[in-house]
Copies of this chain bind each other. A is one copy, B any other.
Amino acid sequence: MDIAQLHDKVLKQDRRALARAITLVESGRADHRALASELLERLRGSGRQALRIGLSGTPGVGKSTFIESFGMTLTAKGLKVAVLAVDPSSARSGGSILGDKTRMERLSRDPNAFIRPSPSQTHLGGVARRTREAVALCEAAGFDVVLIETVGVGQSETVVAEMSDLFLLLLAPAGGDELQGVKRGIMEIADIILVNKADGDLKAAAMRTCADYSGALRLLRKRPQDPQGFPKAMTVSALQEDGLETSWGEMQALTDWRRENGHWDMRRAGQARFWFEEEVRQGLLARLHQSPAREAMESLARDVENGSTTPGKAAQRMLEEYLSR
Protein backbone atom coordinates (compact mmCIF):
# COMPACT_ATOMS: atom_id res chain seq x y z
CA MET A 1 0.00 0.00 0.00
CA ASP A 2 1.35 3.39 -1.00
CA ILE A 3 0.97 5.54 2.11
CA ALA A 4 2.22 8.71 0.41
CA GLN A 5 -0.44 8.38 -2.26
CA LEU A 6 -3.17 7.52 0.26
CA HIS A 7 -2.12 10.57 2.29
CA ASP A 8 -2.47 12.88 -0.72
CA LYS A 9 -5.84 11.47 -1.68
CA VAL A 10 -7.25 11.73 1.84
CA LEU A 11 -6.12 15.35 2.00
CA LYS A 12 -8.03 15.94 -1.26
CA GLN A 13 -11.11 14.38 0.33
CA ASP A 14 -11.15 11.44 -2.05
CA ARG A 15 -13.93 9.38 -0.45
CA ARG A 16 -12.67 6.02 -1.63
CA ALA A 17 -9.24 6.79 -0.26
CA LEU A 18 -10.80 7.89 3.03
CA ALA A 19 -12.77 4.65 3.25
CA ARG A 20 -9.61 2.64 2.54
CA ALA A 21 -7.68 4.63 5.14
CA ILE A 22 -10.36 3.90 7.77
CA THR A 23 -10.27 0.21 6.88
CA LEU A 24 -6.52 0.37 7.41
CA VAL A 25 -6.74 1.91 10.91
CA GLU A 26 -9.43 -0.61 11.84
CA SER A 27 -7.28 -3.57 10.90
CA GLY A 28 -5.73 -5.62 13.68
CA ARG A 29 -2.81 -6.86 11.55
CA ALA A 30 0.56 -5.69 12.82
CA ASP A 31 1.78 -4.53 9.40
CA HIS A 32 -1.47 -2.61 8.90
CA ARG A 33 -1.06 -1.01 12.32
CA ALA A 34 2.38 0.23 11.37
CA LEU A 35 1.11 1.66 8.07
CA ALA A 36 -1.88 3.26 9.82
CA SER A 37 0.40 4.84 12.39
CA GLU A 38 2.59 6.17 9.57
CA LEU A 39 -0.42 7.58 7.71
CA LEU A 40 -1.82 9.30 10.81
CA GLU A 41 1.57 10.80 11.60
CA ARG A 42 1.78 12.24 8.08
CA LEU A 43 -1.78 13.60 8.16
CA ARG A 44 -1.17 15.22 11.53
CA GLY A 45 0.30 18.22 9.71
CA SER A 46 -2.91 19.06 7.86
CA GLY A 47 -3.82 21.56 10.57
CA ARG A 48 -7.50 20.94 9.87
CA GLN A 49 -9.94 20.80 12.75
CA ALA A 50 -13.50 19.55 12.53
CA LEU A 51 -16.12 20.07 15.19
CA ARG A 52 -16.35 16.62 16.75
CA ILE A 53 -19.81 15.93 18.17
CA GLY A 54 -20.49 12.87 20.29
CA LEU A 55 -24.10 11.66 20.23
CA SER A 56 -25.77 9.07 22.40
CA GLY A 57 -29.31 7.77 22.55
CA THR A 58 -30.91 4.42 23.23
CA PRO A 59 -32.77 2.56 20.47
CA GLY A 60 -36.19 4.08 19.89
CA VAL A 61 -35.35 7.72 20.49
CA GLY A 62 -35.12 8.36 16.76
CA LYS A 63 -31.38 8.59 16.45
CA SER A 64 -31.14 7.71 12.76
CA THR A 65 -33.85 10.19 11.87
CA PHE A 66 -32.12 12.83 13.94
CA ILE A 67 -28.72 12.22 12.37
CA GLU A 68 -30.25 12.36 8.91
CA SER A 69 -32.22 15.57 9.55
CA PHE A 70 -29.43 17.25 11.47
CA GLY A 71 -26.84 16.17 8.91
CA MET A 72 -28.96 17.54 6.05
CA THR A 73 -29.38 20.82 7.93
CA LEU A 74 -25.61 21.14 8.06
CA THR A 75 -24.86 20.05 4.49
CA ALA A 76 -27.49 22.54 3.28
CA LYS A 77 -25.21 25.21 4.76
CA GLY A 78 -22.36 23.87 2.66
CA LEU A 79 -20.78 22.09 5.62
CA LYS A 80 -19.16 18.69 5.08
CA VAL A 81 -20.39 16.10 7.56
CA ALA A 82 -18.89 12.72 8.47
CA VAL A 83 -20.82 10.24 10.60
CA LEU A 84 -18.98 7.50 12.51
CA ALA A 85 -20.16 5.08 15.18
CA VAL A 86 -18.87 3.35 18.29
CA ASP A 87 -20.90 0.23 18.96
CA PRO A 88 -19.10 -2.59 20.75
CA SER A 89 -22.25 -4.71 20.53
CA SER A 90 -22.46 -4.73 16.74
CA ALA A 91 -20.11 -7.67 16.27
CA ARG A 92 -22.02 -9.74 18.79
CA SER A 93 -25.49 -8.91 17.55
CA GLY A 94 -24.49 -9.29 13.93
CA GLY A 95 -26.13 -5.98 13.18
CA SER A 96 -24.48 -2.64 13.49
CA ILE A 97 -25.55 0.92 14.05
CA LEU A 98 -25.24 2.89 10.86
CA GLY A 99 -24.76 -0.44 9.15
CA ASP A 100 -28.06 -0.07 7.44
CA LYS A 101 -27.54 3.05 5.41
CA THR A 102 -31.06 2.84 4.05
CA ARG A 103 -32.17 4.29 7.36
CA MET A 104 -30.38 7.46 6.29
CA GLU A 105 -31.16 7.32 2.65
CA ARG A 106 -31.03 11.01 1.89
CA LEU A 107 -27.92 11.72 3.90
CA SER A 108 -26.02 8.76 2.47
CA ARG A 109 -26.63 10.10 -1.06
CA ASP A 110 -25.56 13.63 -0.10
CA PRO A 111 -22.17 14.46 -1.69
CA ASN A 112 -21.25 16.53 1.38
CA ALA A 113 -21.83 13.62 3.76
CA PHE A 114 -19.78 10.53 4.57
CA ILE A 115 -21.26 7.70 6.63
CA ARG A 116 -19.22 4.88 8.10
CA PRO A 117 -20.57 2.05 10.28
CA SER A 118 -18.96 0.96 13.54
CA PRO A 119 -15.89 -1.25 13.26
CA SER A 120 -16.90 -4.79 14.12
CA GLN A 121 -14.84 -5.63 17.18
CA THR A 122 -16.33 -6.89 20.37
CA HIS A 123 -13.89 -5.11 22.65
CA LEU A 124 -14.99 -1.54 23.40
CA GLY A 125 -11.42 -0.34 23.88
CA GLY A 126 -10.51 -1.64 20.44
CA VAL A 127 -13.55 -0.08 18.75
CA ALA A 128 -12.95 3.23 20.48
CA ARG A 129 -9.25 3.51 19.70
CA ARG A 130 -9.84 2.81 16.03
CA THR A 131 -12.81 5.17 15.84
CA ARG A 132 -10.69 7.92 17.37
CA GLU A 133 -8.22 7.41 14.52
CA ALA A 134 -11.04 7.41 11.97
CA VAL A 135 -12.12 10.77 13.38
CA ALA A 136 -8.59 12.09 12.81
CA LEU A 137 -8.75 10.84 9.21
CA CYS A 138 -12.09 12.58 8.55
CA GLU A 139 -10.69 15.72 10.09
CA ALA A 140 -7.61 15.65 7.87
CA ALA A 141 -9.89 15.01 4.89
CA GLY A 142 -11.46 18.41 5.54
CA PHE A 143 -14.83 17.51 7.05
CA ASP A 144 -16.29 20.38 9.03
CA VAL A 145 -18.35 18.29 11.42
CA VAL A 146 -17.71 14.74 12.58
CA LEU A 147 -20.67 13.11 14.34
CA ILE A 148 -19.73 10.13 16.49
CA GLU A 149 -22.76 8.05 17.35
CA THR A 150 -22.97 5.55 20.20
CA VAL A 151 -25.74 3.44 21.70
CA GLY A 152 -24.55 3.81 25.25
CA VAL A 153 -23.54 0.24 25.99
CA GLY A 154 -21.27 0.04 29.04
CA GLN A 155 -18.64 2.75 29.03
CA SER A 156 -19.08 3.65 25.37
CA GLU A 157 -20.38 7.16 26.09
CA THR A 158 -17.39 7.97 28.24
CA VAL A 159 -14.92 6.96 25.55
CA VAL A 160 -16.87 8.82 22.86
CA ALA A 161 -16.80 11.91 25.08
CA GLU A 162 -13.02 11.51 25.18
CA MET A 163 -12.86 12.05 21.42
CA SER A 164 -15.54 14.74 21.14
CA ASP A 165 -15.55 18.52 21.49
CA LEU A 166 -19.13 18.44 22.66
CA PHE A 167 -21.58 15.73 23.61
CA LEU A 168 -25.29 15.44 22.83
CA LEU A 169 -27.75 13.16 24.56
CA LEU A 170 -30.87 12.36 22.56
CA LEU A 171 -33.97 11.37 24.53
CA ALA A 172 -37.56 10.50 23.71
CA PRO A 173 -40.50 12.11 25.54
CA ALA A 174 -41.55 10.09 28.56
CA GLY A 175 -44.90 9.76 30.27
CA GLY A 176 -45.12 9.99 34.04
CA ASP A 177 -44.88 6.30 34.68
CA GLU A 178 -42.62 5.21 31.91
CA LEU A 179 -39.56 7.31 32.52
CA GLN A 180 -36.83 5.88 30.36
CA GLY A 181 -34.17 6.77 32.90
CA VAL A 182 -30.84 7.98 31.61
CA LYS A 183 -27.77 6.00 32.42
CA ARG A 184 -25.97 7.24 35.48
CA GLY A 185 -22.84 9.10 34.53
CA ILE A 186 -24.32 10.54 31.35
CA MET A 187 -25.18 13.77 33.15
CA GLU A 188 -21.47 14.11 33.73
CA ILE A 189 -20.65 14.37 30.04
CA ALA A 190 -23.75 15.75 28.33
CA ASP A 191 -23.46 19.33 27.06
CA ILE A 192 -26.87 19.48 25.42
CA ILE A 193 -29.83 17.17 26.04
CA LEU A 194 -32.18 17.01 23.06
CA VAL A 195 -35.67 15.67 23.69
CA ASN A 196 -36.72 14.40 20.28
CA LYS A 197 -40.21 13.71 18.89
CA ALA A 198 -41.53 17.08 20.04
CA ASP A 199 -44.29 16.83 17.47
CA GLY A 200 -47.94 15.76 17.24
CA ASP A 201 -49.33 13.92 20.22
CA LEU A 202 -45.96 13.74 21.94
CA LYS A 203 -45.21 17.45 21.90
CA ALA A 204 -46.59 18.17 25.38
CA ALA A 205 -44.81 15.14 26.86
CA ALA A 206 -41.56 16.25 25.18
CA MET A 207 -41.83 19.67 26.77
CA ARG A 208 -42.46 18.18 30.20
CA THR A 209 -39.53 15.79 29.81
CA CYS A 210 -37.36 18.71 28.72
CA ALA A 211 -38.41 20.70 31.80
CA ASP A 212 -37.62 17.72 34.05
CA TYR A 213 -34.10 17.41 32.67
CA SER A 214 -33.57 21.15 32.78
CA GLY A 215 -34.40 20.97 36.47
CA ALA A 216 -32.05 18.07 37.04
CA LEU A 217 -29.20 19.82 35.19
CA ARG A 218 -29.60 22.86 37.45
CA LEU A 219 -28.91 20.68 40.48
CA LEU A 220 -25.44 19.87 39.17
CA ARG A 221 -22.38 21.93 39.91
CA LYS A 222 -21.18 24.23 37.13
CA ARG A 223 -18.19 22.96 35.18
CA PRO A 224 -15.40 25.39 34.25
CA GLN A 225 -15.88 24.57 30.56
CA ASP A 226 -19.52 25.69 30.55
CA PRO A 227 -20.71 29.21 29.80
CA GLN A 228 -23.83 30.56 31.50
CA GLY A 229 -26.86 28.39 30.73
CA PHE A 230 -24.98 25.21 29.82
CA PRO A 231 -25.45 22.29 29.90
CA LYS A 232 -29.02 22.73 28.69
CA ALA A 233 -32.02 20.68 27.60
CA MET A 234 -34.01 21.49 24.46
CA THR A 235 -36.80 19.92 22.43
CA VAL A 236 -36.43 18.99 18.76
CA SER A 237 -38.44 17.16 16.15
CA ALA A 238 -36.16 15.33 13.76
CA LEU A 239 -39.23 14.20 11.80
CA GLN A 240 -40.53 17.72 11.21
CA GLU A 241 -37.01 19.15 11.12
CA ASP A 242 -37.99 21.46 13.92
CA GLY A 243 -35.51 22.92 16.40
CA LEU A 244 -32.48 21.69 14.46
CA GLU A 245 -31.33 25.18 13.47
CA THR A 246 -31.76 26.36 17.04
CA SER A 247 -29.82 23.45 18.48
CA TRP A 248 -27.04 23.99 15.92
CA GLY A 249 -26.95 27.63 17.03
CA GLU A 250 -26.54 26.52 20.65
CA MET A 251 -23.73 24.14 19.70
CA GLN A 252 -21.96 26.94 17.91
CA ALA A 253 -22.43 29.33 20.83
CA LEU A 254 -21.01 26.73 23.18
CA THR A 255 -18.00 25.90 21.03
CA ASP A 256 -17.28 29.55 20.25
CA TRP A 257 -17.19 30.28 23.97
CA ARG A 258 -14.96 27.31 24.64
CA ARG A 259 -12.58 28.32 21.85
CA GLU A 260 -12.37 31.89 23.11
CA ASN A 261 -11.78 30.82 26.68
CA GLY A 262 -9.10 28.25 25.96
CA HIS A 263 -11.23 25.26 26.89
CA TRP A 264 -11.28 23.87 23.35
CA ASP A 265 -7.48 23.59 23.10
CA MET A 266 -7.19 22.41 26.69
CA ARG A 267 -9.71 19.66 26.10
CA ARG A 268 -8.04 18.53 22.88
CA ALA A 269 -4.63 18.46 24.59
CA GLY A 270 -6.06 16.52 27.51
CA GLN A 271 -7.72 14.06 25.16
CA ALA A 272 -4.49 13.54 23.21
CA ARG A 273 -2.71 12.75 26.47
CA PHE A 274 -5.54 10.46 27.51
CA TRP A 275 -5.32 8.42 24.31
CA PHE A 276 -1.54 8.24 24.47
CA GLU A 277 -1.69 6.90 28.04
CA GLU A 278 -4.54 4.60 27.04
CA GLU A 279 -2.51 3.16 24.15
CA VAL A 280 0.44 2.59 26.49
CA ARG A 281 -1.81 0.98 29.12
CA GLN A 282 -3.42 -1.26 26.53
CA GLY A 283 -0.02 -2.19 25.16
CA LEU A 284 1.18 -3.14 28.63
CA LEU A 285 -2.03 -5.07 29.37
CA ALA A 286 -1.74 -6.89 26.06
CA ARG A 287 1.72 -8.03 27.10
CA LEU A 288 0.45 -9.13 30.50
CA HIS A 289 -2.32 -11.10 28.80
CA GLN A 290 0.17 -12.85 26.56
CA SER A 291 2.39 -13.76 29.50
CA PRO A 292 2.01 -16.62 31.97
CA ALA A 293 1.31 -13.96 34.63
CA ARG A 294 -2.17 -13.65 33.19
CA GLU A 295 -3.38 -16.86 34.76
CA ALA A 296 -1.81 -16.01 38.10
CA MET A 297 -3.59 -12.65 38.05
CA GLU A 298 -6.99 -14.21 37.42
CA SER A 299 -6.44 -16.95 39.97
CA LEU A 300 -5.40 -14.45 42.65
CA ALA A 301 -8.36 -12.23 41.79
CA ARG A 302 -10.68 -15.16 42.44
CA ASP A 303 -8.96 -15.88 45.77
CA VAL A 304 -9.49 -12.25 46.74
CA GLU A 305 -13.13 -12.33 45.63
CA ASN A 306 -13.97 -15.34 47.76
CA GLY A 307 -12.07 -13.95 50.71
CA SER A 308 -9.31 -16.54 50.92
CA THR A 309 -6.70 -13.79 50.81
CA THR A 310 -6.56 -10.00 51.13
CA PRO A 311 -6.22 -7.62 48.16
CA GLY A 312 -2.93 -6.30 49.54
CA LYS A 313 -1.37 -9.71 50.10
CA ALA A 314 -2.46 -10.97 46.69
CA ALA A 315 -1.09 -7.86 44.95
CA GLN A 316 2.20 -8.29 46.78
CA ARG A 317 2.47 -11.88 45.53
CA MET A 318 1.52 -10.85 42.01
CA LEU A 319 4.14 -8.13 41.87
CA GLU A 320 6.89 -10.16 43.51
CA GLU A 321 6.42 -13.58 41.96
CA TYR A 322 5.01 -12.90 38.54
CA LEU A 323 5.88 -9.40 37.46
CA SER A 324 9.35 -8.95 38.88
CA ARG A 325 11.10 -10.35 35.79
Contact = CB atoms under 8 A, between A and B. Distances in A.
A297 B279 CA distance: 12
A219 B212 contact: yes
Interface in A275-325: 275-280, 283-284, 297, 300-301, 304-307, 309-316, 318-319, 323, 325
Nearest to A323: B284
A215 interface: yes
Contact of A312 (B180, B279, B300, B313): B279
A255 to B, nearest CB: 19
Contact of A273 (B221, B272, B301, B313): B301
Contact of A272 (B133, B270, B297, B307): B307
A221 B181 contact: yes
Interface centre among A37, A40, A279, A310 (most CB of B within 10 A): A310
Interface in A190-224: 212-213, 215-216, 218-223
B183 A185 contact: no
A12 interface: no
A164 B18 CA distance: 49
B275 A220 contact: no
A136 interface: yes
A100 interface: no
Mostly helix, strand, loop or mixed at chain A's interface? helix
Interface string A219-239: 111110000000000000000
A213 B219 contact: yes
A44 B307 CA distance: 8
Most buried by B among A223, A301, A309, A312: A312
A182 interface: yes
25 contacts: A41-B309, A41-B313, A133-B312, A179-B219, A181-B221, A182-B220, A183-B220, A184-B220, A185-B185, A185-B188, A187-B187, A212-B219, A213-B219, A216-B219, A269-B306, A272-B307, A273-B304, A273-B305, A273-B311, A276-B301, A276-B315, A276-B318, A279-B311, A279-B312, A279-B315
